[in-house]
Amino acid sequence: MAQTLDIESRGGKAGTPLLEVQDLVMHYRTKEGDVSAVEDVTFTLHSGESIGLVGESGCGKTSVALTLLRLLPDNSLIKAGDVKLDGESLLELDEEQMRRRRWRDISMVFQGAMNSWNPVYRIGDQIREALRLHWPETLTYQEETDRIGALFELVGLNPVTMERYPHEFSGGMRQRAVIAMALSCNPKVIIADEPTTALDVIVQDQILRELKKIQQELGMSIIYISHDIAVIAEVTERMGVMYAGKLVELGSTVDVFHRPKHPYSYLLLKSTPSITGPRRKLAPLEGEPPNLLNPPSGCRFHPRCPFATDRCKVEEPNLVNVAEGHAVACWNWQEVPEIGGLQK
Amino acid sequence: MLKYIAKRFGQIFILFYVFLALLFLLLDLQPGDISQQFVGNPNIPPEAKEIMVRQLGLDQPKIVQLGNHLWNYSFGMDMGVSWASYPREVSEILFTALPRTVFLFLTATILSFWLGFYTGKLVAWRRGTLIEKTTMITSIFFWTIFYPWFAILMLWFTSSVLGWFPVGKFISVETWIGAPYTAQSVFMLMLGSMALLSTLYGVARYAIDRSVDDAKTRRSYHRIALWSLVALVLVLWGINARRTYALDIIWHTIVPVLTLTLVNFAGTTLLTRSSMLETLREDYILTARAKGVPESTIRDRHAARNAMLPVTTSLVLQLAVVIAGGVITEQIFSWPGLGRALLGAITAEDIPVAMGALALIGILSLFAHLVADITYAFLDPRIRVQG
Amino acid sequence: MADILTPPTEEREVFDPKTVIEEPLWRIRIRLGWRAFRKNWALFSENKMGIVGLLIIALFGIMALAHPVLMATVWQEHQEGGKNVYDIRAGADSIIVTKTIVEEVTDTLTEISQIEAMFLGTGVNIPEIGDTIEAPLANPAPPVLSGVPHPHILGTDPFGGDVFSQLLFGARAAFLLGAIAALSSVALATLVGTIAAYFGGVIDTILMRLADLVILIPLLPLLIVVSGFWNVELTMLGILIGVLGGLGGTAIILKSQALSVKVKPFIDAARIAGGGHWRIITRHIIPNVLPLSFLYMMFAVTGAIFTEAALSFLGLLNIQQSWGIMINIAHTQGYTLEGLKVWWLMFPAGMSITLFSAGFFLVGRAMDEVVNPRLRKR
């Protein structure tokens, strides 16, 4: 039953800056010392835009997401930087204020959403919980049910299933339900952390299409986090590449794919085979990501970088704009060659 | 879920008979012939031995004996005649004792579980604080202390040192001299009124839940119903002539129940805390936080509700401990329940009473397990919805 | 590409790892085992409670070992009426000491009341207050270290036996019982659990039904009846507790552990490599279940000690001496309500049982954090 669903992005006029992350630094304190998990990350999400964060496991992308929602564990410390949503600093709020903004302003689709559901309550009731916490007016039980039903239809689920328990849903269905729950309070921003990992390829494709459709129809601002470049390529307009806690490249997805300027992005793209492009030798990345307890001096990528020079070992490069809307953190970005034969 | 209950009930039913058969085996393996026991017993006339042998069917094949045994102990309700208190029937002796043990067991289990869960839940939330450390140490102390010694200490402390409570036993004989009621009748009336109160409360809650939608008003109605029922019961007892006798029984009941509850409360606290700590690592707790759910709600409605499941499972294994504790409590406080009957029978070599007591305690245990299994099925939708 | 399709013509050398690895296999195994032990020890020792538990167990170990040593050396010479005073069952201190007759007895060691003196006397003269008289050491006697021929560090029990000696012997009994019960219980539970998990099907159902039955039957009441019918002594009790305990809840828990090991890929690999059932069970599954088994052995000890002490306390066992019996004697001789006045009768024994249990319990809990990483505190 089609219902008019008043889901709209409350992010304001399309194109205006919505979420501004400035010089964010976050460390985890462990017995062995401080782990530098997020170092000087800066990017801006505009209203109606979808931005991707790509990088290996452990590069800090999920940490960034958790910092935005202030869901970090007790042993974490935000050392510097700021996060502004609609001009308001999120880091300066106290816990109660932040709690009220969670889900209502920023919601999140977690990695492995199968386990995001509490096994002892019905799926519908768990979404109801979100509505009751944040929806500005009090809804009647029926109104809540209607809204959840409409949300379900939006993500491709049968509204009848909202009375079921999580164990009665398949993995793909649970994932869709999580997306429905993330949309439920009309958030300004949605963070999707590996939304399709652990799903088979067909379901993965379906869900990505849904997300893209929702984003375009509703003008939702989304941050995608993934280690899979193919996913990022498919759904985002802009993307950032993270390595060892640092944002090393930031630009439009098309630009970064066609003309990566950071050696890491270059090697990353070169190591991905392409069905349509010409045959070329795959260039795997040598070595392993650094131990963030004791990161390398200078540029964190220099031990593995084929373009590294002496300067890279000493001075850490900052993220600077090198072309229209395209920033990179590398001293030798000029040396990075073109990727041959990549069609989009 | 009904399928699950039915299946479990069936299993327990069969296990019950296996248990009875084992008891028969035990009886049979016992050194010497049962009838020989009669010869030495001064209470039983010698001619009775012949009659006994025929009556007990000792001259019949073993299978028939087994069959008779199973029948008698279940449907026939005939557990023989006591040797030490000849010619009282075993069932008469034990069924007098049964409600007392059930009362002790039920009260201790329910109180200790409820309090223990509540405490464990709160303590797990405050990891690393002084409260947590103190609670943990106290709980470990009460859980590991040697129970008979602890019970003796409690008895000594409450009666000799404080002087507030009697030295064990069920009633103070002086109070009851010339009483128009028997202790058993007053006790049964007390149990009956408690059972009635619980049932009425359950019904009232159900009715309230069906008619009222809003959670807050529902809860206040629950409270009104509870307190008005309690007030009613108290008034009815207050005007009753039996009240002094009832109070005497209650006065004797407090310390035994307290002792047994304390130890199991500690155990449940430890269990709940561990379970909560494991549950707090789950992803759905992070999701609940991300949704902006307040901390106390996360603790109670998300974490505790799930932590309850392993605790209930472990409780099943802990039932044996509670029963053992009950037997020891009865012995030390001279509380006339099944446990004390069992011990008295063993000491007096009164085998029918001993076997009967063991059988009844076993039935109590089976029943408790069944209830625990059903409770678990009720709490876990993964079983409730698909069986 | 073509050379892959043609089969090799020459004999290929069979690769024998033994020719490359220089160390003997057993030494490698020991090294790996030692490394694993050190790692687990580091995890274990993070938890202070575990260390406390170990210390407690060590203390009792010393006590248990001390008894035969003391009996053979220091206590050897203390004889009274042909028997060693410190002997745990037969010993009785009936030494005669000199006591003063007083109005009110405050020190039972050196004073005696007039009435009692009259009972002791020859009957002709009424003893006066202030006189001295030869009288036996009143049992139970409080701790006394000097002034008497046989020092009693913790006093004597109502029959004259030395409490300290009994306490030390009790440690020995406790370890013995604990070892028998825990080892048999866990060995049985591991075997049953693993077999049920590995073979599944009918065997699984039967074993699980059996475990169900064992859980349902209340252990203490059953043992009460059994010890009433038969004469139960220490080894037999240990085996009984072991069997009846091992087949129950522990078996079910270990079975689920064995199941989680069975589905791991390396088991499939072992089977493909030609491993027979028993080889896989003993070489692969059981070693991975053992850490959990070892954990439950700790809790099995606490249960066994409690059961033995409770049964001894109820006077149902035929054991030489144990802490439970000490409390039983105090209770049956009517000293329960005397409380602090005769503290040495119940307090050391009760405390020993408690601490012994607590020691194993704490070690068990600390091991829980090693075996189950989710409980760790970051």
Q: Are A100 and B302 in contact (CB < 8 Å)?
A: no
User: Hey, is the C-beta of C349 within 8 angstroms of any chain B C-beta?
Assistant: yes
Lowest mean pLDDT among A237-251, B33-47, C338-352: B33-47
Write out chain C residues lying below 8 Å of B316, CB-based: 215, 249
Give C208-242 pLDDT, tens digit per residue: 888 888 888 888 999 998 888 888 888 888 898 88
Percentage of residues in chain C having pLDDT higher than 70: 82
- Identify the closest residue of chain C to B338 by CA–CA distance: C221
Q: Which residues contact A169 (CB under 8 A, 6 or more apart)?
A: A117, A123, A161, A177
User: Hey, is the C-beta of B147 within 8 angstroms of any chain C C-beta?
Assistant: yes
Interface mutation vs chain C, best among B15, B22, B126, B146, most C CBs within 10 Å? B146
Confidence band of B387 (pLDDT split at 50, 70, 90): very low
Q: What is the mean pLDDT of residues B41-52?
A: 66
User: Hey, is the C-beta of B257 within 8 angstroms of any chain C C-beta?
Assistant: no
Query: Which member of A108, A129, A181 has the closest CB to residue B293?
Result: A129
Total beta-carbon pairs less than 8 A apart between chain B and chain C: 140
Q: Are B15 and C362 in contact (CB < 8 Å)?
A: no
- Inform me whether the pLDDT recorded for C261 exceeds 90: no
User: Hey, is the C-beta of C24 within 8 angstroms of any chain B C-beta?
Assistant: no
Query: Which member of B18, B145, B346 has the closest CB to residue C224?
Result: B346
Write out chain A residues lying below 8 Å of B286, CB-based: 71, 110, 116
Query: Which member of A107, A116, A133 has the closest CB to residue B284?
Result: A116
Confidence band of C376 (pLDDT split at 50, 70, 90): very low
Write out chain B residues lying below 8 Å of A167, CB-based: 381-382, 385-386
Residues facing residue A239 across a β-bridge: A52, A251
For A120, the 3-state DSSP assignment is coil
Confidence band of B257 (pLDDT split at 50, 70, 90): very high
- Identify the closest residue of chain A to B287 by CA–CA distance: A116
Q: Which amino acid is at B330?
A: E
For B268, the 3-state DSSP assignment is helix
Cβ C242 vs Cβ C185: under 8 Å:
yes
CA distance A155 to A211: 8
* Neighbouring subunits of C (3+ Cβ pairs under 8 A): B
Give B146-177 pLDDT, tens digit per residue: 999 999 889 888 888 888 888 878 888 777 77
User: Hey, is the C-beta of B11 within 8 angstroms of any chain C C-beta?
Assistant: yes
Strands A106-109 and A189-193: parallel
CA distance A339 to B362: 78
Cβ A242 vs Cβ A248: under 8 Å:
yes
For A145, the 3-state DSSP assignment is helix
3-state SS of B208-229 is HHHHCCCHHHHHHHHHHHHHHH
Lowest mean pLDDT among A174-188, B62-76, C6-20, C56-70: C6-20
- Inform me whether the pLDDT recorded for A74 exceeds 90: no
Percentage of residues in chain C having pLDDT higher than 90: 9
C62 in the Ramachandran plot: left (φ > 0), alpha (ψ -120 to 50) or beta? alpha
Query: Which member of B294, B306, B380 has the closest CB to residue A118?
Result: B306
Higher pLDDT among residues A31 and C2, named by residue: A31
Instruction: Please give, rounded to a whole number of angstroms, the shortest distance from the CA of C327 to a CA of chain B.
Output: 8
Q: Are A110 and B287 in contact (CB < 8 Å)?
A: yes
Sign for the CA dihedral angle at C200, C201, C203, C204 comes to: positive
Query: Which member of A102, A121, A168 has the closest CB to residue B290?
Result: A102
Total beta-carbon pairs less than 8 A apart between chain A and chain B: 69
Write out chain A residues lying below 8 Å of B294, CB-based: 99
Q: Are B317 and C215 in contact (CB < 8 Å)?
A: yes
Q: Are C213 and B18 in contact (CB < 8 Å)?
A: yes
C111-113, strands of its sheet edge to edge:
C111-113, C96-102, C132-136
What pLDDT does residue B75 have? 66
Write out chain C residues lying below 8 Å of B277, CB-based: 374-375
- Identify the closest residue of chain C to B276 by CA–CA distance: C375
Instruction: Please give, rounded to a whole number of angstroms, the shortest distance from the CA of C153 to a CA of chain B.
Output: 22
- Inform me whether the pLDDT recorded for A257 exceeds 80: yes
Percentage of residues in chain B having pLDDT higher than 70: 90
User: Hey, is the C-beta of B353 within 8 angstroms of any chain C C-beta?
Assistant: no
What pLDDT does residue B36 have? 58
Percentage of residues in chain B having pLDDT higher than 90: 12
Q: What is the mean pLDDT of residues B87-114?
A: 87
Instruction: Please give, rounded to a whole number of angstroms, the shortest distance from the CA of B179 to a CA of chain C.
Output: 30
Query: Which member of C221, C227, C353 has the closest CB to residue B149?
Result: C353
Cβ B23 vs Cβ B360: under 8 Å:
no
The chain-wide mean pLDDT, for chain C, equals 80
What pLDDT does residue A342 have? 46
What pLDDT does residue C356 have? 93
Of C109, C77, C80, nearest in space to C94 by CA: C80
Q: What's the pTM? A: 0.80
Cβ C255 vs Cβ C286: under 8 Å:
no
Q: Are B213 and A110 in contact (CB < 8 Å)?
A: no
Higher pLDDT among residues C116 and B336, named by residue: B336
Instruction: Please give, rounded to a whole number of angstroms, the shortest distance from the CA of C214 to a CA of chain B.
Output: 9
Of A235, A324, A264, nearest in space to A51 by CA: A235
Q: What is the mean pLDDT of residues C186-196?
A: 90
Tokens 């406790």, residue? C174
Give A276-288 pLDDT, tens digit per residue: 666 666 666 777 8
- Inform me whether the pLDDT recorded for C296 exceeds 50: yes
The chain-wide mean pLDDT, for chain A, equals 84
Q: Are A133 and B213 in contact (CB < 8 Å)?
A: no
Distance of CA B78 to the CA centre of its chain: 24
DSSP conformation class of C282: I
- Inform me whether the pLDDT recorded for A47 exceeds 50: yes
Higher pLDDT among residues B385 and B329, named by residue: B329
- Inform me whether the pLDDT recorded for C176 exceeds 80: yes
Instruction: Please give, rounded to a whole number of angstroms, the shortest distance from the CA of B362 to a CA of chain C.
Output: 6
User: Hey, is the C-beta of B25 within 8 angstroms of any chain C C-beta?
Assistant: no
Write out chain A residues lying below 8 Å of B213, CB-based: 141
Give A144-169 pLDDT, tens digit per residue: 899 999 889 888 889 999 999 998 88
Confidence band of A3 (pLDDT split at 50, 70, 90): very low
CA distance B274 to B278: 6
Q: Are B18 and C310 in contact (CB < 8 Å)?
A: no
What pLDDT does residue C175 have? 92
What pLDDT does residue B261 have? 93
* Neighbouring subunits of A (3+ Cβ pairs under 8 A): B
Burial B4-32 (b: 16+ CB within 10 A, else e): beeebeebbeebbeebbeebbeebeebee
What pLDDT does residue C60 have? 92
Write out chain C residues lying below 8 Å of B278, CB-based: 374-375
Give B123-144 pLDDT, tens digit per residue: 888 877 888 889 988 998 898 8
Cβ B48 vs Cβ B315: under 8 Å:
no
Q: Which residues contact C211 (CB under 8 A, 6 or more apart)?
A: C192, C247, C248, C249, C251, C252
Assigned token pair, B112:
């200790």
List strand residue ranges (DSSP E) for C29-136, in order.
79-80, 83-84, 96-102, 111-113, 132-136
Of B1, B120, B47, B35, nearest in space to B375 by CA: B1
Q: Are A141 and B213 in contact (CB < 8 Å)?
A: yes
